[in-house]
Amino acid sequence: TTETEAVYTDRFGTVHPLPDAAAEAQVRAEDRAHVFHSWSAQALIDPLPIAAGEGSTFWDYQGNAYLDFSSQLVNLNLGHQHPDLVAAIQQQAGRLATIQPSMASDVRSELARRIAEVAPGDLDKVFFTNGGADANEYAVRMARAVTGRRKVLSMYRSYHGGTATAISLTGDPRRWANEPSDGSVAHFMGPYAYRSPFHSETPEQEAERALAHLEQLIVLEGANTIAAIIIETIVGTNGVLVPPPGYLQGVRALCDKYGIVYIADEVMVGFGRIGEWFAVNAFDVVPDLITFAKGVNSGYVPLGGVVISQRIAAHFDTVSFQGGLTYSGHPLACAAGVATFEVFERDGILERVRDLGSRVVEPRLREIAVKHPSVGEIRGAGLFWAIELVRDPATHEPLVPFNAGGADAAPMAAVAAACKQAGLWPFIHFNRMHVAPPLVITEEELVRGLDIIDEALTIADGYVV
């Protein structure tokens, strides 16, 4: 008899040994011994070893399949192991794996041109970075150089990245232990109709009052000390907060009035998440700088950047821009970016996102909101939604307290466990579950995932007063 080794063939025809219990134990042991994880108490975590992924699904070493409703960290817009992206990276690696940023490279040029073509207004130059946080750092640095001012205003309930200035800009608890990294940041309240800090009764009122508050802050902080205002076009990890009509245009007007640079952080929402290349296009507003990362190439190779208006770029025509990164515009990352444009165009990804969002996700979430007393509000666009869970629908008391951890977070942990048990990997943050699957998810998978969420929310209902 011949002994056959247990193997599987991936979607590219390569044969791999089938992961077994010993392999899993080794991954776990080495991880626990030597990998230092982000945002975690190291002794309290138990990361799940992942064996493989394809499209909207990934598998653990036990062979359990998970529908990836969080697109990893909302970066995997074209799903796991997209053949076009993998091939583009492989081809580029064979031809020219790396080249430093002060030389020109065909894939970098092409990607910059393609980004400029879909960017709004006169934003037509791209500074490449390695990810989102450094894109925001560099946008701020450009704003400071151009205005000669230092201060930056950003929203409470925002996330702008984990590096020094980016974490200072961040308006959520991840900033607290890291203060002060950059002392020249002031925070303001953005619109949030469901928990209106302005006690508004209509979206128009919320926009108007939030803008009045922002203008007051500008005046009190000293308009001539403020270099930039940075805003996530749709607030991401802090709740998929879609701005009310007129708000972003009002921010634009305030920036014009006071000579402040408007930075739109589109790291999470750019490149198709709501069915637009850049989300500002849906709000008919043109910022001075747009930062991006994640969806530009689904994170197959780290890449981010800043799209720059002609006015700001012109400042650096004769004044040297003092900044750079060894891997800026890395050819492997750019090759995956160019392939992303090709796939989006060939497969009609933007149209597909708008269609699935309005025809499948939104109506189903509306049904879910009516059915489950624990659902306080659902909101979103395209394939980017939040389900906000409450303990008391009348008072909007959240299902778990703000920044809940440990035992306080138990109700959300129970919902998450039920989802995983049923084969769905959820995105959960405080009292919210987000729906952010890969943009290539099939309709059948999307419906199946929403069924699982519907079922899991019965657990949340059990906590409602």
Chain residues that interact with ligand PLP, rule: CB under 6 A: 73, 131-133, 136, 159-161, 232, 236-237, 265, 267-268, 293, 304
Q: Are the C-beta atoms of 310 and 124 separated by less than 8 Å?
A: yes
Q: What is the smallest separation between the CB atom of 298 and ligand PLP, expressed in angstroms? A: 12
Chain CA centroid to CA 463, Å? 30
Q: Which is nearer to ligand PLP, 70 or 147 (CB)?
A: 70
Q: How many residues are present in the chain?
A: 465
Q: What is the smallest separation between the CB atom of 39 and ligand PLP, expressed in angstroms? A: 11
Q: Which is nearer to ligand PLP, 293 or 312 (CB)?
A: 293
Instruction: Tell me how far apart the alpha carbons of residues 88 and 335 are, in angstroms, rounded to a whole number.
Output: 6
Q: Which is nearer to ligand PLP, 293 or 350 (CB)?
A: 293
> Which DSSP symbol is given to 252?
H
Q: What is the smallest separation between the CB atom of 250 and ligand PLP, expressed in angstroms? A: 20
Q: Residue 268: CA atoms inside 13 Å, Cβ hemisphere, count?
A: 27
Q: Indicate the residue whose CB is closest to ligand PLP.
A: 132
User: Would you tell me how many other CB atoms lie within 10 Å of the CB of residue 122?
Assistant: 15
Q: What is the smallest separation between the CB atom of 162 and ligand PLP, expressed in angstroms? A: 6
Q: Are the C-beta atoms of 244 and 204 separated by less than 8 Å?
A: yes
Instruction: Tell me how far apart the alpha carbons of residues 107 and 302 are, in angstroms, rounded to a whole number.
Output: 15
Q: Which is nearer to ligand PLP, 59 or 156 (CB)?
A: 156
Q: What is the smallest separation between the CB atom of 184 and ligand PLP, expressed in angstroms? A: 19
Which contiguous run of DSSP H or E holds residue 393? none
Q: What is the smallest separation between the CB atom of 61 and ligand PLP, expressed in angstroms? A: 26
- Name which of 273, 255, 239 is nearest 429 in CA terms: 239
Q: Which is nearer to ligand PLP, 266 or 445 (CB)?
A: 266
Which contiguous run of DSSP H or E holds residue 40? none
Q: Which is nearer to ligand PLP, 166 or 460 (CB)?
A: 166
Q: Which is nearer to ligand PLP, 136 or 309 (CB)?
A: 136
Q: Which is nearer to ligand PLP, 78 or 268 (CB)?
A: 268
Long-range contacts of 221-226 (CB under 8 A, 24+ apart): 221/151, 221/153, 221/186, 222/151, 223/258, 223/259, 223/260, 224/149, 224/259, 225/149, 225/150, 225/151, 226/147, 226/149, 226/151, 226/152, 226/153, 226/258, 226/260
Q: Which is nearer to ligand PLP, 131 or 373 (CB)?
A: 131
Q: What is the smallest separation between the CB atom of 423 and ligand PLP, expressed in angstroms? A: 25
**52 beta partners:** 59
Q: What is the smallest separation between the CB atom of 279 and ligand PLP, expressed in angstroms? A: 11
Q: What is the smallest separation between the CB atom of 130 and ligand PLP, expressed in angstroms? A: 8
Q: What is the CA radius of gyration of the chain?
A: 22
